[in-house]
Amino acid sequence: MKLKKVICGLFLLFTTSIAQAHLLNMTNLHLDTTNPDAVTLRVKIDLGQSLLSPQDYWRTVNMGSREQWVNIEPAVNKLLDGLGIFVNGVAVAANLETWSLVATSLEAIENPLSPQMAELTFNLNNLGLESSTALANASIELRIAEWLEVPWPALLRIDSASRQLPVSRLLTSSDRSSRSVPLSADSAIAGSSFAAKLAMEFQGWIPGLSWVAIGFQHIIPWGLDHIVFVLGLFFLSTRLSTLFYQVSCFTVAHSLSLGLATLGMVSVPASIVEPLIAASIIFIAVDNLCSPVLSRWRFVVVTLFGLLHGLGFASALSELLLPAENFYTALLMFNLGVEAGQIAVLALAFAAVGWLRSWTAYTERVARPATVTIAGVGTYWLLKRVIF
Amino acid sequence: MGLIKHSEKLRISAGIATVASLLLAFDVAFSAMAPAHLAFPLDERAPGEFPDAWIHGSKSAMDNDDPAVQVHAYNEHTYILRENKAINYEGAFMYLFFGNEVAMLIDQGSTSSPALFPLREVVDEIIDGWEERNGQEDIELIVANSHLHGDHYAAWNQFVDRPNTVMVGLTHEEVMAFWGIDNYPQQIVNFNLGGRELVVTGTPGHQGSELAIYDGWTDLLYTGDMFYRGRLYLEDWDAWVASIRKLRSIADQNPVVHLVNNHIEMTAKSGVDYPVGTTWQPSEPPMQMTLEMLDQAVEASFEIEEPGIYTYDDFLIYNQVPWSYTTDP
Ligand SMILES: [Zn+2]
């Protein structure tokens, strides 16, 4: 190993590559909106390679701060002119608050491969918004004018109080706008399915409604086994009261176990719950076929199965993150969504075959074949969940 | 249950059995038709190959007619891409790893313009071909980065409007949240890329958000910009020392066949680099490195005490020296 001395002043080596070499000195823009009373934009820019000449920059670096300001003012104004900041589409003004100019030598500034980054902090005090909630719901866009050249690309980072993570946008010489970036929170469900995105939209104006939508989805379309179970209850008898009592027991029970499991008070592995749910479907269907009247112990069984299905919902729910701040509301809303989904299933069943219930052959031609099919589906799930 | 006749019981049982076996039969037939699930076992090493020489620029950028992006299949599920040195002297390498239903692009080169550097187009083409060969459709693309330097994400914007794409993001916080690292840089996490187990950990020193990735299927250890055949610009010496020793311990605990990375700046001559900004490197050494070279770096981590430029056979250490200084006038 030999130690080489640092050699200075060898900066004229680069011929063809200089024009493309502006990469290490790329521009950084940091828009911080976490404190609504002190929104700032921090710009890290290679001033000596962009808005000032290397010589001017080097002279300025070595001045006292008052003279520095005189020297950088035109460049700062040019930057402000070319840097458009828009809150809800309306341009807002920025004022330079502090600056720090860094450089090691004139040669270093002249060398495009050695970034000498100046840092300028602007405040955006007058956003034209009434309250901090207005800021949380605002969207913000940053644009660099066509005529303004900064060392590209420019990385924009936006921090906001209601987002856990910052947002990043890359601005390039041909793509000079960040486009509108909403400052509101992105939740754990963002970006998954279309339905979840729709739920997010709803959340904007009725908080909690998105959890209703998610609960609903856990019946239609994702909760096929729960749909089949509820249909099993539906096909027991043609009497509405029979159905009503069963569904009530089922609902109370699964709400209870969903709550307990989500709070962590009960925990049963899915490898046990899932086959048992399949078994419950078979049981209900076979019971329908063998004793077509509502016996008392049927209530007990339906309640037990309700507890079981609640555990199933809980394990599905555990894959989503319930918000810590309004946990109980979200849980309640999720459960309401499940009930709504259940009611929707029954309504559809009525629409499909309910009007046939007074037909004398209804039991023989509709209810029994349907129930046999339900038992078959349950058997298939049981085999699949136990064996495969 | 005694309410129904024996023959009725038989009929019901037969009905249930028929429905269940029909469904099972459909299920079996369907899963037989479904695309084969790719396996990425860790116990045997998936072989791969490097090109004899990478495309290494040209004397004049004007008459360079090499592709803007060189695409090399290391093996059927691992692609190494290189930006044409005539477009940007960095000649950065990029990686595309495939798993079931997912691909991950690590780094997006040094040029933003899609006209000069159509990375998106190239990546889409590779993915299309891969999907066709592997019977998978609409797989997800993860756009990630080895570290947060502009010469490795310039073409990031080409992917932001791509459907079915996860943009990891270009801030430290977004990157760590994506990988599930909440104790950077110490934490070592396992990342499941569609059945392909990656081991990911923080390796700062060159840049404060850098990650190293070990792929147990190919036994490749990817070291980004913190260890490659070239000028290792270290902004934080202590961090790099810890990182390079951690790579050594990862290599102790896992079989490693090659170390792969982001740039080639050395010449074929031991200890001699091409000057910064070179766009034609006629006698480039291979990009991949060996465990012996890693050992030499670990040794250096014990020897070096002060800022300065230190020359080794296969790399140079620029310990807290500004980027620009070159060793070869
Ligand atoms: Zn780098």
Residue B35 pLDDT exceeds 70: no
State how far the Cα of A59 lies from the Cα of A130, in Å rounded to an integer.
Answer: 43
Pairwise CB contact (< 8 Å): A291 & B153: no
Cα–Cα distance measured from residue A103 to residue B214, given in angstroms and rounded to the nearest whole number: 38
Same domain, A171 and A229: no
Which conformational region is residue A193 in: left (phi greater than 0), alpha (psi within -120 to 50 degrees), or beta? beta
Candidates A153, A165, A379; nearest CB to B173:
A165
> What's the confidence (pLDDT) of residue A248?
86
Widest CA span of chain B, in angstroms? 101
**Residue in chain A nearest B18 by alpha carbon:** A376
A151 and A266 share a domain? Answer: no
- Rounded to the nearest angstrom, the minimum Cα separation between A1 and chain B is 6
Q: In Å, what is the CA distance from A47 to each residue of A41, A244, B48, B291?
A: 16, 75, 46, 42
Q: What is the mean pLDDT of residues B163-170?
A: 96
Residue B328 is predicted with a pLDDT of 38
**CB A153 to CB B279 under 8 A?**
no
Task: Say whether both A164 and A248 belong to one domain.
Answer: no
Residue A255 C-alpha, separation from nearest chain B C-alpha, in angstroms: 30
Alpha-carbon distance A377 to nearest alpha carbon in chain B (angstroms): 6
The rounded distance, in Å, linking the Cα atoms of B208 and B31 is: 46
Q: Which residues of B touch A165 (CB under 8 A)?
A: 169, 171, 173-174, 177
Smallest CA–CA distance from B314 into chain A, residue? A1
Q: How confident is the model at residue B259 (pLDDT cuts 50, 70, 90)?
A: very high
Do the beta carbons of residue B253 and residue B216 sit within 8 Å?
A: no
Tokens coding B20: 């269940």
What distance lies between CA B247 and its chain's CA centroid? Answer: 16
Position A131 in a domain = yes
Residue B306 CA to ligand 1 centre (angstroms): 21
* Helix, strand and coil percent figures for chain A, each rounded to 5: 50, 15, 35
- A143 with A178, same domain: the answer is yes
Residue from A2, A29, A46, A113 to probe the interface with B (highest B Cβ count within 10 Å): A113
Please tell me the distance between residue A68's alpha carbon and the centre of ligand 1 in angstroms.
Answer: 32
Helices and strands of chain B, counted as H and E runs: 5, 14
Q: Where do the domains of chain B lie, and which CATH numbers do they carry?
A: 61-325 (3.60.15.10)
CA dist A23 → A118, B88, B165, B224 (Å):
16, 10, 25, 17
The tokens of A274 are what?
Answer: 């899932």
Q: What is the pLDDT of residue B6?
A: 80
Residue A265 lies in a domain: yes
pLDDT of residue B290: 98
- Do the Cβ atoms of A380 and B156 come within 8 Å? no
Do B311 and A2 lie within an 8 Å CB cutoff?
yes
The model's pLDDT over B6-21, given as tens digits with 9 standing for 90+, comes to 888 888 889 999 999 9
Residue of chain B whose Cα is closest to the Cα of A110: B324
CB contact under 8 A, A114 and B323: yes
Q: Burial-class residue A315 by CB neighbours within 10 Å (0-12, 13-18, 19+).
A: middle
Question: What's the gap in Å between B150 CA and the centre of ligand 1?
Answer: 8
User: Reduced to 3 states, what is the DSSP secondary structure of residue A266?
Assistant: coil
Residue A381 lies in a domain: yes
Tell me: the pLDDT tens digits for B196-229? 999 999 999 999 999 999 999 999 999 999 999 9
Same domain, A295 and A369: yes
Residue found by looking up tokens 């989503």 in the block: A320
Domain boundary among A190, A220, A246: A190
Nearest Cα neighbor of A243 from A283, A298, A318, A205 is A298
CA proximity to A216, closest of A314, A352, A344: A344
ipTM of the complex: 0.87
Q: Both A242 and A346 in a single domain?
A: yes
Tell me which residue in A114, A153, A166 faces B322 most closely, judged by beta carbons.
Answer: A114
CATH number at residue A272: 1.20.1250
pLDDT at A321: 64
User: For residue B170, which residues of chain A lie inside 8 Å, CB to CB?
Assistant: 155, 157, 168, 170
Pairing state between β A118-123 and A95-100: antiparallel
Report which of residues B122 and A360 the model is more confident about: B122
Separation of alpha carbons A151 and A155, rounded Å: 11
State the best of A2, A10, A174 to mutate against chain B, taking most chain B CBs within 10 Å: A10
Residue where one domain finishes, among candidates A125, A158, A190: A190
Is there a contact between B110 and A23 if contact means CB atoms under 8 Å apart? yes
What does the pLDDT read at residue A204?
53
Pair A186, A213 in one domain: no
- What angle, rounded to 10 degrees, do the helices at A54-61 and A65-82 form? 140
Nearest to B48 by CA among B29, B76, B87: B76
B160, closest residue in chain A (CA to CA): A169
Ligand 1 centroid vs A44 CA: distance in angstroms? Answer: 18
Torsion angles phi and psi, residue B292, rounded to 5: -65, -40
For residue A20, what pLDDT is reported?
A: 38
Q: What is the mean pLDDT of residues B162-174?
A: 96
Pairing, β A2-4 against β B308-311: antiparallel
Specify the number of domains making up chain A: 2
pLDDT of A108: 85
Q: Is there a contact between A113 and B323 if contact means CB atoms under 8 Å apart?
A: yes
Angle between helices A270-290 and A224-234 (to 10 degrees): 20
CA of B148 to the centre of ligand 1 (A): 7
Nearest residue of B to residue A26, measured between CA atoms: B150
Interchain contact, A175 vs B1, CB within 8 Å: no
Neighbours of A230 (CB within 10 A): 24
How far out from the chain centre does Cα A148 lie?
35
Asked if residue A182 belongs to a domain, the reply is yes
At residue A47, the pLDDT reads 94
Q: Is residue A98 part of a domain?
A: yes
Specify the amino acid at residue B67.
Answer: P
Question: Closest approach of chain A CAs to the CA of B185, in angstroms?
Answer: 18
Positive or negative: CA dihedral B292, B298, B303, B308: positive
Cβ neighbours of A379 in B, within 8 Å? 16-17, 19-20
- What region does B136 belong to: left with phi over 0, alpha with psi -120 to 50, or beta? beta
Distances B252 to A13, B191, B228 between C-alpha atoms, Å:
42, 20, 19
d(CA A142, CA A151): 16
Q: Which of A85, A155, A163, A73 is nearest to A120 (CA)?
A: A73
Nearest-by-Cβ selection for B150 from A18, A24, A286: A24
Taking each helix axis from N to C end, the angle separating A327-353 and A240-262, rounded to the nearest 10 degrees, works out to 150
Residue of B nearest to A288 (CA): B1
Contact present, A352 and A216 (Cβ < 8 Å): no
Rg of chain B, C-alpha, whole Å? 25
CA A168 – ligand 1 centroid, Å: 18
Same-domain status, A263 and A119: no
Residues 6+ apart with CB under 8 A from A28: A42, A43, A44, A45, A117, A154, A155, A157
Interval between CA B146 and ligand 1 midpoint (Å): 9
Would you call B275 helix, strand, or coil by DSSP? coil
- Please state the φ and ψ torsions of residue A240, each to the nearest 5 degrees: -65, -40
Collect all residues of chain B within an 8 Å Cβ-Cβ radius of residue A113: 276-277, 323-324
Measure A66 CA to nearest chain B CA, in Å.
29
Spatial CA neighbour of B209 closest among B172, B238, B154: B172
Here the tokens at position A191 are 């970006």
pLDDT in tens, chain A (388 residues): 444 433 333 333 333 333 333 457 889 999 999 988 899 999 999 999 999 999 999 999 999 989 999 999 999 999 999 999 999 999 999 999 999 999 988 988 888 777 889 999 999 988 877 777 788 888 999 999 999 999 999 999 999 988 889 999 999 999 999 999 998 865 333 444 555 556 555 555 455 677 788 778 877 777 888 889 999 988 887 777 888 888 888 989 988 998 888 888 888 888 888 899 999 999 989 988 887 676 778 888 899 999 999 998 888 777 666 666 677 887 888 888 888 888 899 889 888 887 887 788 887 888 889 999 999 999 999 998 888 7
Query: Which of A190, A218, A251 is the last residue in one of the domains?
Result: A190
Query: Cβ separation of A18 and B277 shorter than 8 Å?
Result: yes
Cβ-defined contact of B309 to A3 (cutoff 8 Å) = yes
Q: Is residue A160 part of a domain?
A: yes
Q: Do residue A366 and residue A221 come from a single domain?
A: yes
Within-domain flag for A199 = no
- pLDDT score for A212: 82
Asked if A33 and A179 sit in the same domain, the reply is: yes
**Residue A289: its chain B contacts at CB < 8 A?**
4, 12
Residues 6+ apart with CB under 8 A from B293: B259, B313, B314, B315
Residues in B touching A104 (Cβ below 8 Å) = 322
Residues A165, A232 within the same domain: no
pLDDT on residue A359: 82
Report the alpha-carbon angle B11-B14-B19, nearest 5. Answer: 125
Chain B residue nearest residue A115, CA to CA: B323
Q: Please give the residue range of the domain that contains residue A212.
A: 206-386
Q: Shortest Cα distance from A232 to chain B (angstroms)?
A: 14
Name A83's Cβ contacts closer than 8 Å, sequence gap at least 6. A43, A94, A142, A143, A144, A145, A148
Do A234 and A151 sit in the same domain of this protein? no
Per-residue tokens: B75: 């093996």
**In DSSP terms, which residues pair with B96 in a beta bridge?**
B79, B105
Residue A268's Cβ-count burial label (10 Å; 0-12, 13-18, 19+) is middle
CA A152 to chain centre: 30
B219 to chain A nearest CA, in Å? 30
Half-sphere CA count of A316, side-chain side, radius 13 A: 24
Name the DSSP class of A177: B
B15 vs A contacts (CB less than 8 Å)? 369, 372-373, 375-376
Interchain pair A168, B171: CB under 8 A: yes
Among B170, B306, B312, the strongest candidate for a mutation testing the A interface, having the largest count of A CBs within 10 A, is B170
Q: Ligand 1 (ion): which residues have CB within 5 A?
A: B 149, 225
On whether residue A196 sits in a domain, the answer given is: no
